[in-house]
Amino acid sequence: MDLTSFAAGAQYIGGRAVAGTGDEPFQVVNPADGSTVHEVVLASTGDVDAAVAAARAALPGWSGATPGARSEALGRLAAVLADRAEEFARVETAQTGKPIKLSTEFDVPGTIDNTAFFAGAARNLEGKAAGEYSGDHTSYVRREAIGVVGSIAPWNYPLQMAAWKILPAIAAGNTIVLKPAEITPLTSLMFAAACTEAGIPDGVVNVVTGAGRTAGEHLVSHPDVAMVSFTGSTAVGKRVAELATATVKRTHLELGGKAPFVVFDDADLEAAVHGAVAGSLINSGQDCTAATRAYVQRPLYDAFVAGVADLFAAVRLGDPRNPQTDLGPLVSFAHRDRVAGFVERARSYATVVTGGPAGSKGHDGTDLTLGAYHLPTLITGAAQDSEVVQGEIFGPVLVVLPFDSDEEGLRLANDTPYGLAASAWTRDVHRSLRATREIAAGCVWVNDHIPIISEMPHGGYKSSGYGKDMSQYSLDEYTQVKHVMFDTTAVARKDWHRTIFGDR
């Protein structure tokens, strides 16, 4: 799976790497030093058409395969991914800048585990038990594939998001065309090649690397695409839904987040401080479930701020290939500047306790000025309606605000348009039950923040979208339910016919 085997096209269509037919080359850049990792040619609308045609051609055979056959293929895929784990981690770090320890210990093993999970889930497409619900008929439910799925994945977790899109779709018997973010397409292409190596038929999994306004919008609007799954910003998600509506496609949207981190006055302070640092800095804060708004009950507020500031100062920035590096660069220089803009504007209305632009040298001597680095940043004194509290920064920035009563803390936690994830920190079971009940989010952790598991669903409330990734619940997104009904009486003149014609 040498990257040079993908040529310049970076398209994977019908079981092989093919050259794109877009207008010009595009560089995948390592944000740690600005070097070019790989050069690709972006997809044209014609490449999207070819990928959809390949997926459509593969659909009858794949959807008609037994659940056991699809399960076996996914089991083989998990084995291929495990064999290539080191290479996947290395490439993921090169194209995103995330620390190698995160790629090695989180992204890649999480993807392998997801694959193994869906290998089992493929054999368990549940439906209601057959029965004579009317008395005169036997009814049962079939779960069937929807068809060709068009998926668009983000740049923050390229490998994991590709897997979250591909695995439930094909486990349920669909075929798929995935468009990864053009700045981070490489591990998605490698994943598709691994599917072929595992014996998944050609055309079941296709990848087109292209720009959103050309390849992405064409894929979403394509008449032969039956369903669209999108992960990304809420603004772009609205555009995806608008385009999908024109052809009445099913949509699954996992959108932005602004996760609250609610610390009650009986919480374990050390645990909360450590949880906030880890939860806010994972993947350089480029995580839609990252802790971004810490609400701390006033008795613990000062100690919490001091503890987080101390730990932030100890975080090691440096070469993401170094196993000792804690925090890598942001995904691009443009995104680094966007995050820095939030922080610099906040200086006029809040207090930046620590953080801001990165220094010149990392912990290992790395020249940080060559990369898209930004220091872990802690902000206090911001108003609830301020930009840093309400807006999705998507960087290593944590805003801390105090609250007094439990009611106030929960109200503030819900006071954004988003509802993807949240956490509550308390030793009191009643407080934790109340928080998990009243916080409007698709996932609420208690005394932890971030962990995900393949067996449990991931998805949001409110402007964070709808539908679920991972778990058995995700198969609801990728199947359609058919009611089948058999007459059991063999009576030609049924009693209900008399309501339409004739007399009893």
Per the DSSP assignment, residues forming a β-bridge with 261 are 294, 423
Q: Is 254 a catalytic residue?
A: yes
On whether the CB atoms of residues 11 and 78 are closer than 8 A, the answer is no
Q: Which of 92, 288, 392, 443 is catalytic?
A: 288
Q: Is 288 a catalytic residue?
A: yes
Query: CA 461, CA 254: separation in Å to the nearest integer?
Result: 9
Rg (CA), the chain: 25
Q: Which of 22, 25, 19 is nearest to 45 (CA)?
A: 22
Per the DSSP assignment, residues forming a β-bridge with 465 are 254
For the CA atoms of 67, 154, 233, 311, the dihedral, rounded to the nearest 10 degrees, stands at 110
Q: Which of 29, 28, 35, 31 is nearest to 336 (CA)?
A: 31
Q: Which two tokens stand for residue 98?
A: 């995330």
Query: CA 361, CA 377: separation in Å to the nearest integer?
Result: 17
Q: Which two tokens stand for residue 6?
A: 């993908």
Phi and psi at 414, nearest 5°, equal -85, 0
Q: Which of 344, 272, 342 is nearest to 308 (CA)?
A: 272
Q: Which two tokens stand for residue 374?
A: 């930004």
Query: CA 183, CA 4: separation in Å to the nearest integer?
Result: 17
On whether the CB atoms of residues 418 and 464 are closer than 8 A, the answer is yes
Phi and psi at 172, nearest 5°, equal -85, 0
Element (H, E) at 16: strand 16-18
Q: Is 153 exposed, middle or buried (0-12, 13-18, 19+ CB in 10 A)?
A: buried
On whether the CB atoms of residues 2 and 189 are closer than 8 A, the answer is no
Q: Which of 254, 392, 443, 477 is catalytic?
A: 254
Angle, CA 271 vertex, CA 270 and CA 272 arms, to 5°: 90
Q: Where are the alpha helices (DSSP H) in 347-466?
A: 387-390, 406-413, 429-438
- Which residues are tagged catalytic? 254, 288
